[in-house]
Amino acid sequence: MFSIWEIILLQVVNGLILGSFYALVALGYSMVYGIIKLLNFAHGDIYMTGAFICFTVFGFISSVIGGVPGVVLAVIAAMMFCAALGFLVQRFAYKPLFDAPRLSLLITAIGVSLVVSNTVMVQTNSQFLFFISGLDNTVGFGFGEITITYVQIVLIITTVGLMIGLYRFINHTMWGKAMRAIASDMDTCRLMGINVNTVIGITFMIGSSLAAVAGGMACVYYGNIHFSMGYIIGMKAFTSAVIGGIGSIPGAMLGGLLLGLLEAGGTHLFGSAWKDVFAFIILIVMLIFKPTGLLGKTEIERM
C-alpha cells in the first residue's frame, strides 16, 4: 500500500514526464507564433512523424547498434528529418501566404496537418506499431514501494537540457537576437538587412526538431505509436503554450510542465477517463481569467 508521500512523488514524476512532451511540442508553437503569428496546428503531426522516423530508423539499425546508442541515433535521425520537413512546410505551404490574412495561414496549417497524418495512416494501414528499444524501464532508484526508473530520469534531464539550450540560443546568439527582433517588428528587420525568410525557416527547423525529440522519447517511454497520436498532444501542447503565454519561450516551458503536473494530479483524483477533459478545463479557466497566460504580455495594436 502506497503512502501519501509515495503517491505524491509518483504523480510528480509522471507529471514531469508528461509535461516534458507537452513542453517540447509547445516550444514549436510559441516560436512560430511569436514570429509570424501563426498557430501551426500541423506541429502535433510533426511530433507524430518524428516518432515514426525514430521507429523506422531504429528498426534498421537495431541489429547492429541497439540499446541506448541505437535509440540516440534514431532520435537524431528523426530530428534531421523533421527539421527538413518543417523547413519544406514553411517554404511551400506557409511562405506564399505570409502577406495573406491570418485566417488563410490557419486553414493551410489544418490542411498540412491532414496531409501529414493521412500520409502516415496510409503507410501504416492505421495500425498501432510497437517499439521495442531493449531498455529496461523497471530498473531505477527505489523510494519505498515505488521506483523512479533510469529511463524516466534520462527523459526529464534531456528535456531540461534542451530547454536550457534553447533559452540560451534565443537570448545569447545572433540568430536568437534576429528571431526576437523579427517578433517585435518584421518590416523594420527587413529594412535593416536581416534575412527574414531565412530566420523564419530556422525557427521552423528548431521547433520541428524539438517535436521530433518528443516523438522519439514517446517511442521509448510508451512503446507504441499510431498515426493519430499527434492530434491530442498537439492540442495539449497548444493548451500549454496558452497557459504559459503564447509566443513566450519560458512560458511554453512552464506551461507544458505545469499542465503535465496538473493533469497527473487530476487523473489520480478523478480517474483517467477525465484526463483530457481536465486539461481543457484548465485551458478554459485560463482564457477566462488570464487570457495572456502566466508569462505572456498584452499586445497593443496601433492603427
Give per-residue pLDDT as tens, 131-158: 888 787 778 888 777 888 888 899 999 9
pLDDT value at position 1?
Answer: 63
pTM for the full model?
Answer: 0.92
Q: What is the pLDDT of residues 253-266, one digit of tens each?
A: 999 999 999 888 88
List CB contacts of 197: < 8 A, sequence separation 6 or more.
95
Q: Is the pLDDT of residue 168 over 80?
A: yes
pLDDT value at position 68?
Answer: 86
pLDDT value at position 303?
Answer: 41
Q: Is the distance from CB of 106 to CB of 35 less than 8 angstroms?
A: no
pLDDT (average), residues 21-38:
91
- The ranges assigned to domains in the chain are 4-289
The CATH number of 4-289, from 1.25.40, 3.40.1400, 1.20.1070, 1.10.3470, is 1.10.3470
Reading the block at residue 121, the C-alpha cell is 495512416
DSSP collapsed to 3 states, the chain: CCCHHHHHHHHHHHHHHHHHHHHHHHHHHHHHHHHHCCCCCCHHHHHHHHHHHHHHHHHHHCCCCCHHHHHHHHHHHHHHHHHHHHHHHHHHHHHHHCCCCHHHHHHHHHHHHHHHHHHHHHHHCCCCEECCCCCCCCCEEEECCEEEEHHHHHHHHHHHHHHHHHHHHHHHCHHHHHHHHHHHCHHHHHHCCCCHHHHHHHHHHHHHHHHHHHHHHHHHHHCEECCCHHHHHHHHHHHHHHHHCCCCHHHHHHHHHHHHHHHHHHHHHHCHHHHHHHHHHHHHHHHHHCCCCCCCCCCCCCC
Residue count (the chain): 303
Segment among 139-143, 210-214, 226-230 with least mean pLDDT: 139-143
